[in-house]
Structure 1
Amino acid sequence: MIEAFLDPATGSLPQVEEAVRAAAAAEIMPRWRQLAAHEVIEKSGPHDLVTVADRLAEQHLTASLTALLPGSVVVGEESVHADPALYGALERDAPVWIVDPVDGTRQFVRGEAGFCTLVALALRGELLASWTFAPARDRMATAVRGRGARLDGAELLAGSPEPGAPLRVAMSHPDYTTPDQKAALLGLDAEGVAARSCGAAGLEYLAVASGELDAVAFSWEFAWDHAAGLLLVQEAGGAQTTLTGEPYRIAGGNALPFTAARDRATAARIRDLLDAAR
């Protein structure tokens, strides 16, 4: 399946990259710092926003991606909000494009550059490829299962944290978690760990894959927020684990919080800190 999109010379998937860039150019960037008040809507509360850019970009991507791969379906943040039953496609036999049209909507609404478009391709629960595009910064990160990760065409290697240095960790804000998850995340208030609240999840995963951040710890599991970034970290040489030591499953049912890190040792340490604090 992936071979149909793959450029053997560069290891890139230009058709999908072009589709992601086109959606951002048509529907997202013309509205950046140009949103009217009526174009921003609260879904479940003030911290859960959607804009006209989110909706139109997802529609654009749905049309272009399914045309590239006939028989495929899209599981997108906005389509699932309208029809939660669509999430079940992650466990069926058709190829699935997992789409977050604007990851970091709050940053987008504030006119900041820290947002991105996330796309991943999966089949029967297995991630095959991913795209993380930061249009305000014109940066494209890609990953192909078994073929590595790239940022703007250059190979990404997560490496390992600097020995003796505090672990830099981005985590879910404890205020937006269940009591059990909040207790677990407070385990990161530990010696040798420098934890902070996360920004757009996709950009935090990119920071791990590029070695600018040592780990992330998240308390929610929606596939559109995590699928692209988890494959990016994995293909850059990193590791991930849920609270029980099992891998994250894109269809859900994960033991939360979970972590992704630059290497296995760091992922295990973060998991142990989370588990011990529950």
Structure 2
Amino acid sequence: MIDERVLAALLPRVEEAVREAAATEIMPRFRHLAPGEVSEKKGPYDLVTAADREAEAYLTRALTAILPGSAVVGEEGVHAEPARYAALAGEAPVWIVDPVDGTRPFVHGKTGFCTLVALAHRGETLASWTHAPALEQFATAVRGGGAWLDGERLSTGSAVPGAELEVSSSHHEYTTPERRRALLGLRVPGVRIRPSAGSAGLEYLALARGEFDGTAYDWENAWDHAAGLLLVTEAGGAQTTVSGEPFRLAGGNALPFTAARDAATAERIRRLLSGG
């Protein structure tokens, strides 16, 4: 595991790199994308832009220079070369990067996007950085050291016993039949589905701030979840897959999974997802 002193030394350098990537590669293209700078990956709901590619390239160079010998698992790099994802199960420290989380809002000129970076080693997420440049927000989390937003400590708070749950959820129409049935377990009295913000990273940040109760997601790409899960747990929350096991960065999780403001709420959501 990475020494605590090494980790403490690299924290401000990573923040600087994330801010610089946003300032040089993302924000100049915000609301100024040329037609040739937007394309589809798997369909019209899976977009990629020049900002995604160039910001990930910038961060790949910067982060591996900050921590020599480390690997990068980034959304665009894995799309081009799927075998890169296997680094999450290896021995080297891994930077997990989503250069523009919320590409569709970004393309449509909306502010609901962010850059996500997490540092993991041997399956454990050690630190995370969530930067929403258009909202001028920067959140960090360190394993065992708490979660912070712009210098203020974050807390998920506790659910009110018996109160209605507000849950951010994957859409049940865009998944497998098994996961659809699980997600439909939330469509019961006492649960309100939160409208999607279009960015998992910003949903995790809102949860870490105590703005709602929990999530129910049915996909497991590490770049979407690693930073936010650490942010939520360090703010006092909890997470579990539908099987009751913790979420694994390398994949193979029982899905859906949940992150919630406290352990009792996580278990309540898990039971709804598992039909219990």
Fold in common (TM above 0.5): yes
Amino acid at match of 1:208: L
Q: What CA distance in whole angstroms lies between the structure 1 residues aligned with 2:7 and 2:86?
A: 26
**Is residue 2:237 matched to residue 1:238?**
yes
1:13 to partner: Cα distance: 2.2
Amino acid at match of 1:182: R
CA contact (8 A) 1:49 1:105 kept: yes
CA contact (8 A) 1:241 1:260 kept: yes
Match of 2:8 among 6, 9, 19: 6
Matches within 5 A, 1:142-157: 142-157=140-155
Q: What CA distance in whole angstroms lies between the structure 2 residues aligned with 1:5 and 1:179?
A: 42
1:3 to partner: Cα distance: 2.3
Q: What CA distance in whole angstroms lies between the structure 1 residues aligned with 2:41 and 2:5?
A: 38
Gaps in structure 1 of 5+ consecutive residues: none
Quote the residue 1:90 is aligned against. Answer: 88
1:162 to partner: Cα distance: 3.0
Deviates more, 1:194-203 or 1:228-237: 194-203
Q: What CA distance in whole angstroms lies between the structure 1 residues aligned with 2:235 and 2:175?
A: 29
Quote the residue 1:255 is aligned against. Answer: 254
The normalised TM-score by structure 1 is 0.95
Quote the residue 2:116 is aligned against. Answer: 118
Quote the residue 1:42 is aligned against. Answer: 40
Quote the residue 2:76 is aligned against. Answer: 78
Deviates more, 1:173-182 or 1:128-137: 173-182
Amino acid at match of 2:150: D
Gaps in structure 2 of 5+ consecutive residues: none
Q: SS at the partner of 2:63? A: helix
Q: What CA distance in whole angstroms lies between the structure 1 residues aligned with 2:45 and 2:178?
A: 21
1:176 to partner: Cα distance: 1.6
Q: SS at the partner of 2:193? A: strand
CA contact (8 A) 1:204 1:213 kept: no
Q: SS at the partner of 1:136? A: helix
Quote the residue 1:177 is aligned against. Answer: 175
Quote the residue 2:272 is aligned against. Answer: 273
Quote the residue 1:225 is aligned against. Answer: 224
The normalised TM-score by structure 2 is 0.96
1:260 to partner: Cα distance: 0.2
Amino acid at match of 1:238: G
Matches within 5 A, 1:96-107: 96-107=94-105
Q: What CA distance in whole angstroms lies between the structure 2 residues aligned with 1:194 and 1:3?
A: 43
1:163 to partner: Cα distance: 3.6
Quote the residue 1:264 is aligned against. Answer: 263
CA contact (8 A) 1:97 1:121 kept: yes
Amino acid at match of 1:200: S
Quote the residue 1:68 is aligned against. Answer: 66
Quote the residue 1:128 is aligned against. Answer: 126
Amino acid at match of 1:205: Y
1:175 to partner: Cα distance: 2.1
Identity in percent: 67
Matched pairs, number: 273
Q: What CA distance in whole angstroms lies between the structure 1 residues aligned with 2:37 and 2:65?
A: 28
1:196 to partner: Cα distance: 3.0
CA contact (8 A) 1:234 1:240 kept: yes
1:265 to partner: Cα distance: 0.5
